[in-house]
């Protein structure tokens, strides 16, 4: 091992005091630590390695990025911002408002980003006329993942309505399976919530409550029904759900221990990484009652200003992320679809092609909604306040009526 490598590893081992990025390295803070996520990240690492750019890895485990954002704040506060950071939606806007992000306009102009990135993503990737991040993908959160062998064994069809879905969960439970594989972490429950809000009140209700934060919608009878349904779902998870990581819940579906999981399409990356085939070993369908809508989130890489302009490594990373070949190669592994809308989708698998078409159709018909659970509906302060109420209810601290009242108050005071 070289002296420099030893020094870097020692610095990494002491956490926040990571070694400063070397001339031709990018230091990337991210939360892609599951098997499927790591495999996708490798596509990016290899792309950069091919250009002679080194990669200093700064992984902070924890789906949805909550922990990563806490570590980021500490790093920036101690004057040691990473070169590039995986970020979601309103977090990007928050950092851009603080003036912390590098201006990527020269690279964006050269790559024609204005034309190839849809407005729904530009809303977060730009601030005050400047590109501040490079979107690598589009995920969506309102999916159900199913073990096909269990569905076949129980004679279950793809559920079309909430009642159908509850019947399928009951059948799986009666047959001795864990009906719903779940990890009890706030962001995972918030992921359920995205889909349940849509299924109860449709897109208008989602818009009013999750995006416009309308107190009437937040305090409505429909919201009580949302919490009632969350309670019903809670009844189908196993006893050991608390704190379980999302990918371990996916593994329960992969291993035929559990019938279903409600999770964004990064779950597909786990199935693929385990050698499973969509349509044969597992099925994906929209959460019943939200078939025409797409709640989306987009992983983007924001570059932290390191002095004047964008460094060569940052420019190379941004360009690599936006290249058409990379967007296809990466998203095939990750379970997401490309952030660019000008690509030939035939290279994606069946689930991916369906998701790419869904995404483009939803964007065109106005059925694309930012995911609350993944930072695309409202700013982090509001999102975290919602998380607290949703999780407290899920864990039995509030009944549905109290949860509705708490939600109204939490949203009001967090703005």
The site for ligand GAL (CB under 6 A) is made up of: 31-32, 37, 63-65, 88, 139, 246, 266, 297, 299, 374
The answer to whether the CB of 382 falls within 8 A of the CB of 213 is yes
Instruction: Identify any residues that bridge with 56 across adjacent strands, giving them in sequence order.
Output: 27
3-state helix, strand, coil in the chain (%, to 5): 55, 15, 30
Spell out the residues 6+ positions from residue 201 whose beta carbon is closer than 8 angstroms to its own: 209, 217, 222, 226
Instruction: Identify any residues that bridge with 131 across adjacent strands, giving them in sequence order.
Output: 126
In the complex, minimum distance from the CB of residue 167 to ligand GAL, in angstroms, rounded to a whole number: 29
In the complex, minimum distance from the CB of residue 63 to ligand GAL, in angstroms, rounded to a whole number: 3
Q: Considering the complex, state which of residue 8 and residue 268 has its C-beta at the smaller distance from ligand GAL.
A: 268
Q: Considering the complex, state which of residue 31 and residue 162 has its C-beta at the smaller distance from ligand GAL.
A: 31
In the complex, minimum distance from the CB of residue 246 to ligand GAL, in angstroms, rounded to a whole number: 6
Consecutive H or E run containing 144: strand 143-147
Q: Considering the complex, state which of residue 27 and residue 299 has its C-beta at the smaller distance from ligand GAL.
A: 299
Q: Considering the complex, state which of residue 191 and residue 220 has its C-beta at the smaller distance from ligand GAL.
A: 191
Q: Considering the complex, state which of residue 91 and residue 406 has its C-beta at the smaller distance from ligand GAL.
A: 91
Q: Considering the complex, state which of residue 8 and residue 376 has its C-beta at the smaller distance from ligand GAL.
A: 376
In the complex, minimum distance from the CB of residue 31 to ligand GAL, in angstroms, rounded to a whole number: 6
The answer to whether the CB of 386 falls within 8 A of the CB of 411 is yes
How far apart CA 340 and CA 331 sit, in angstroms, is 11
How far apart CA 312 and CA 263 sit, in angstroms, is 37
Burial zone of 10 (CB within 10 Å; 0-12 exposed, 13-18 middle, 19+ buried): exposed
In the complex, minimum distance from the CB of residue 66 to ligand GAL, in angstroms, rounded to a whole number: 9
In the complex, minimum distance from the CB of residue 85 to ligand GAL, in angstroms, rounded to a whole number: 13
The answer to whether the CB of 210 falls within 8 A of the CB of 295 is no
Q: Considering the complex, state which of residue 223 and residue 333 has its C-beta at the smaller distance from ligand GAL.
A: 333
In the complex, minimum distance from the CB of residue 371 to ligand GAL, in angstroms, rounded to a whole number: 8
In the complex, minimum distance from the CB of residue 165 to ligand GAL, in angstroms, rounded to a whole number: 23
Mapping DSSP to helix (H, G, I), strand (E, B) and coil, where does residue 254 land?
helix
What does each C-alpha distance from 400 to 88, 213, 226, 238, 406 come to in angstroms?
Answer: 29, 19, 8, 21, 10
Q: Considering the complex, state which of residue 332 and residue 374 has its C-beta at the smaller distance from ligand GAL.
A: 374
């Amino acid at each position: 091992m070289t002296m420099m490598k030893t020094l870097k590893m020692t610095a990494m081992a002491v956490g926040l005091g990571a070694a400063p990025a070397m001339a031709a390295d990018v230091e990337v803070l991210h939360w892609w630590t599951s098997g499927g996520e790591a495999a996708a990240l490798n596509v990016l690492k290899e792309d950069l390695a091919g250009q002679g750019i080194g990669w200093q890895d700064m992984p902070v485990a924890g789906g949805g990025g909550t922990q990563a954002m806490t570590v980021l704040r500490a790093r920036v506060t101690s004057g040691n911002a990473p070169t590039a950071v995986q970020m979601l939606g309103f977090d990007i806007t928050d950092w851009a408002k603080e003036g912390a992000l590098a201006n990527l306009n020269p690279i964006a102009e050269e790559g024609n980003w204005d034309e190839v990135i849809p407005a729904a993503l530009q809303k977060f990737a730009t601030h005050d006329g400047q590109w501040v991040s490079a979107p690598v993908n589009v995920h969506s959160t309102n999916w159900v993942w199913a073990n096909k062998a269990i569905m076949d064994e129980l004679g279950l069809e793809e559920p079309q309505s909430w009642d159908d879905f509850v019947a399928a969960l009951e059948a799986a439970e009666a047959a001795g399976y864990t009906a719903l594989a779940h990890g009890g972490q706030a962001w995972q429950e918030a992921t359920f919530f995205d889909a349940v809000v849509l299924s109860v009140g449709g897109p208008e209700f989602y818009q009013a409550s999750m995006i416009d934060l309308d107190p009437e919608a937040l305090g409505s009878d429909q919201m009580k029904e949302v919490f009632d349904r969350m309670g019903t779902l809670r009844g189908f998870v196993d006893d050991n759900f608390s704190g379980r990581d999302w990918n371990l819940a996916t593994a329960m579906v992969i291993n035929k221990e559990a019938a279903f999981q409600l999770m964004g399409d990064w779950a597909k990356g786990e199935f693929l990484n385990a050698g499973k085939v969509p349509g044969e070993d597992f099925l994906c369908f929209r959460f019943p009652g939200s078939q025409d809508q797409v709640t989306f989130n987009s992983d983007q890489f924001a570059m932290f200003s390191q002095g004047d302009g964008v460094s060569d490594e940052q420019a190379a990373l941004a360009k690599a992320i936006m290249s058409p070949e990379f967007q296809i190669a990466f998203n095939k592994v990750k379970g997401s679809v490309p952030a660019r809308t000008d690509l030939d989708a035939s290279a994606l698998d069946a689930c991916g092609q369906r998701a790419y078409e869904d995404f483009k159709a939803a964007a065109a018909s106005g059925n694309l909604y930012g995911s609350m659970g993944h930072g695309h509906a409202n700013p982090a302060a509001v999102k975290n306040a919602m998380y607290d109420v949703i999780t407290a209810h899920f864990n039995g601290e509030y009944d549905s009526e109290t949860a509705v009242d708490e939600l109204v108050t939490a949203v009001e005071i967090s703005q």
